[in-house]
Amino acid sequence: MKKTSRRQFLKVAAAGAAILTTGKASASEMHQKVNNNTLSMLYDATKCVGCKACMAACKRVNGDYGSLSYERASFDPDGLWDAPQDLTGSTRTLIKLFKESERDWSYVKYSCMHCQKPSCVSVCPVAAMTRDPQTGIVDYNKNTCIGCRYCQVACAFNIPKFQWDRALPQIVKCDLCKNTNLRQKGITACAEVCPAGAISFGKRGDLLEEAQKRLRENPGKYLNHIYGEKEVGGANHLYLSSMQFNKLGLPVLKDEAPAEFSEKIQHTIYKGFIAPVALYGTLCWIAVKNMRKHGPEETDHHKDTDKQGGA
């Protein structure tokens, strides 16, 4: 009898331990350190001359693979090409100009940040968004995607775009030229063509060193901040600028990744379950023990009561 109740108690305790162990494994995965060996780009806004060669190269090189295309000017029926106003279902990267005054202005380039802890990957219910742990490339698989667009909602940088105008729409975002320029030439198309050296391509660690060197050697030229180094757990797309990044449309974000935060909540809830589950197990064990102990007397009492009732 005693043996059975102990076994039950141990089962409950083991179940609790299993929950705790599972939580710890996932949490440690999410708390992995930033990987500085991943492929990265450093965009230096102070060097950019706004020529948009990077945008054109991106569309030219990735046109077939990424379903990109030049956009016709809505006002021109004669076939002139328009410059897109925003990242779209046919535009993976965009150059914009921010102008505060005649003296204070800057170009800025938008494209996927290739976050080290990407929310788009974390929320995708069918793993259509994936992150390669070796290269750090956050990629998209159109054959797996079910079009829920959770990735769009989850991205703090508002990067993934949906092809609303197509019969078979897909999500569009930079994949670091994974299947095109990177595969053929070992460098991204936008970095390859930039005539001003505003886009550097390489390992994250090397680009961070380069960015730090530029900050050290040019005091007063740059804002003392490498955007993407720490934001949302670190990104592979890094930025240098002379202006506040939020003015350039790059949001002010915490160092902690939202994906990491949501996992923390999950695991806190799991951990919170351990005490009640263990307490419940203990109470069950005591109850079973007491029932066994007092069971025969209670049975006799009921028998007596039944007899009295029957008399």
Residues 298 and 106: their CA atoms lie apart, in Å, by 86
- In the bound state with ligand SF4, the residue whose beta carbon lies nearer, of 51 and 277, is 51
Is 248 near ligand SF4 (CB under 6 A)? no
Q: What six digits make up the tokens of 199?
A: 């886009």
Q: How far is the CB of 133 from ligand SF4 (least distance, A)?
A: 14
**Residue whose entry in the numeric block shows the structure tokens 């060996």:** 37
Query: Exactly one of 123, 145, 159, 211 binds ligand SF4 (CB under 6 A); which one?
Result: 159
Is 145 annotated as a binding-site member?
yes
Q: What six digits make up the tokens of 150?
A: 């959770």
Is 177 annotated as a binding-site member?
yes
278 residue type, one letter: A
Residues 6+ apart with CB under 8 A from 196: 47, 48, 49, 51
Query: Exactly one of 87, 145, 177, 226 binds ligand SF4 (CB under 6 A); which one?
Result: 177
Q: How far is the CB of 161 from ligand SF4 (least distance, A)?
A: 10
Residues 156 and 158: their CA atoms lie apart, in Å, by 6
Residues 6+ apart with CB under 8 A from 278: 12, 13, 16
Query: Exactly one of 18, 49, 126, 146 binds ligand SF4 (CB under 6 A); which one?
Result: 49
Is 198 near ligand SF4 (CB under 6 A)? yes
CA 273 to chain centre: 27
Contact set for ligand SF4, span 71-100 (CB under 6 A):
92-93, 95
Note whether 108 and 96 are within 8 A (CB).
yes
> Between 107 and 126, how does the x/- string for binding to ligand SF4 read (CB under 6 A)?
x-x-xxxxx--xxx------
Beta-carbon count within 10 A of 220 CB:
6
- In the bound state with ligand SF4, the residue whose beta carbon lies nearer, of 15 and 196, is 196
Is 199 near ligand SF4 (CB under 6 A)? yes
Residues 56 and 154: their CA atoms lie apart, in Å, by 28
- In the bound state with ligand SF4, the residue whose beta carbon lies nearer, of 138 and 145, is 138
Beta-carbon count within 10 A of 109 CB:
24
Q: Are strands 39-44 and 199-203 parallel, antiparallel or unpaired?
A: antiparallel
Per CB under 6 A, which region of 2-10, 49-57, 277-285, 288-296 contacts ligand SF4?
49-57
Is 284 annotated as a binding-site member?
no
Is 238 near ligand SF4 (CB under 6 A)? no
Residues that bind ligand SF4 (CB under 6 A): 48-54, 57-58, 62, 92-93, 95, 107, 109, 111-115, 118-120, 138, 155, 157, 159-160, 173-177, 188-190, 194, 196, 198-199
